[in-house]
Amino acid sequence: MKMKNFTIKSGIMFLSALTLFSCSGQSQSSESLKFYVGSSGQQEHSIFLCELDTEMKTFAILDSFSGAAGASYLAASPDFGHIYAINQESSDPEQKYSSVTSFAVDSENFGLKFINSQSSMGRGICHIHSSQDGAYIFAANYSSGHASALPVSEEGKILTATSVVIGEGGGPVENRQSGPHAHQVMLDPSQNFLLVPDLGTDKVMIYAFDPSSGQLSPNPVQPFLSLTPGSGPRHLAFHPEGNYLFVVNELNSTLTACRWDSSEGRLLEINTENTVEDGHEGMKYPAAVRVHPNGKFVYASTRGENSCISVFSIAEDGSITRIQVKEQVPFWPRDFNLDPSGRYLISAGERSNDIRLYTIDQDSGLLSETDASLELPAPCCILYIQ
């Protein structure tokens, strides 16, 4: 698929034959949904402030920001006063570690002001996550396998890491599992345990977290959950009630439902389903997983020639059943996200350079296409402003 060329000018992205609106220029509706898009591209501005007019079903680019080099994943503080962005691996061989950047958010126009960058204490950073009290952010470093805890000051400055951990072992997929590859970091709802899907070891690591010291340590009750050899766990998402979670596995194209006990940090597999239809040909690498706010459905994206987003129903016991495979979504959907109301899903096509809007049936959970789309360079992460 041919990649488009993009340029940045005066903080706003200008695309050939494209105005700020993806459809004919309509006046802004009173019903709008604002969100940030993080890009993996190497252009100067890699974070974009966008808006969805939910009545007209149109997108608009409001602004763009520099300060993060390839901001392919974003996270927000709980009060949305700060945004954090990863900085993709530098080409400088002297740079030992990746880094995380902090921005202050303007409460009126949602503009971003650079605060500082801090080492993630690992290489190949791919994911960040904020604690519910905003006192810590956590980073997953894919290349080196390290996960780290970094304190955050009241002013939003990221401080030196207080703890760095790494898994052990490998897996049967020789070119992908020669050692640990932390792919995500996520505190459980109790905020007492940090879960780290490790693609390289086929494990979900479970670390006890002490917020008073910022230390991470293997959970003595259960230090990890082992998944199918060669599965490559990548990302996970918790059920709204906190007693279940769902792990998307990149290397065998599956989604695993698990039961979670927050009192002791125990994780137990319930069942696993394929993210693609039988006979799905070519590359198939699942990427993101999100749970609907009503707790009845879970969604997973799969990258490849036949990129898709799949929908699963969630039973009362936490088990899942695939009910839809939505194909012809933006190419290489590294991320997508549901809005807080659960009415809309925006999918980001990293290799097709666009985002696209889908509506969600609240009763069935099924996705429907709309005409709303917008060109952006290498979009990777969708972060709604709440």
Per-residue pLDDT of 142-199, as tens digits, reads 999 999 999 999 999 999 999 999 999 999 999 999 999 999 999 999 999 999 999 9
Q: Specify whether the CB–CB gap between 260 and 286 falls below 8 A.
A: no
CA nearest to 244, candidates 324, 298, 183, 322: 298
Q: What percent of the chain shows pLDDT beyond 70? A: 90
Q: Specify whether the CB–CB gap between 167 and 154 falls below 8 A.
A: no
Residue 3 has what pLDDT? Answer: 44
Residue 22 has what pLDDT? Answer: 39
- Locate 210 and state its tokens: 């002490």
Sheet architecture: strand order including 163-166: 125-130, 136-141, 146-151, 163-166
Distance CA 51, CA 44 (A): 21
Confidence label for 296 from pLDDT (cuts 50, 70 and 90): very high
In one-letter notation, the amino acid at residue 199 is: L
Confidence label for 42 from pLDDT (cuts 50, 70 and 90): confident
Q: Specify whether the CB–CB gap between 348 and 9 falls below 8 A.
A: no
The values of phi and psi at residue 74, to 5°, are -125, 155
pLDDT at 211 over 90: yes
Residue 143 has what pLDDT? Answer: 95
As a whole number, the mean pLDDT across the chain is 92
Give the mean pLDDT of 96-119: 96
- Type and span of the H or E element at 174: none
Longest Cα separation, the chain:
58
pLDDT digits (tens, 9 = 90+) for 16-28: 333 333 333 333 3
Between the CA of residue 277 and those of 273, 288, 309, what are the distances in Å? Answer: 10, 17, 11
Between the CA of residue 202 and those of 64, 167, 172, what are the distances in Å? Answer: 37, 10, 9
Q: What pTM did the predictor assign?
A: 0.92
pLDDT at 134 over 50: yes
Residue 282 has what pLDDT? Answer: 84
In one-letter notation, the amino acid at residue 41 is: G
- Locate 160 and state its tokens: 């030196």
Q: Which residue has 């390290």 as its token pair?
A: 146
Distance CA 251, CA 38 (A): 24
Q: Specify whether the CB–CB gap between 348 and 336 falls below 8 A.
A: yes
- Locate 239 and state its tokens: 């059920």
3-state SS, one letter per residue, for 228-258: CCCCCEEEEEECCCCCEEEEEECCCCEEEEE
Q: How many residues are there in the chain?
A: 386
Distance CA 77, CA 107 (A): 13
pLDDT at 384 over 70: yes
Distance CA 80, CA 366 (A): 30
Distance CA 308, CA 310 (A): 6
Q: Specify whether the CB–CB gap between 278 and 284 falls below 8 A.
A: no
Confidence label for 386 from pLDDT (cuts 50, 70 and 90): confident
The SS3 of residue 329 is: coil
Q: To 10 degrees, the CA torsion angle through 214, 220, 225, 229?
A: 100
Residue 300 has what pLDDT? Answer: 98
- Locate 375 and state its tokens: 């060109």
Distance CA 261, CA 243 (A): 6
- Exposed / middle / buried, residue 109 (Cβ in 10 Å: 0-12, 13-18, 19+): exposed
The SS3 of residue 282 is: coil
List CB contacts of 167: < 8 A, sequence separation 6 or more: 145, 180, 182, 196, 198, 200, 201, 203, 205, 224
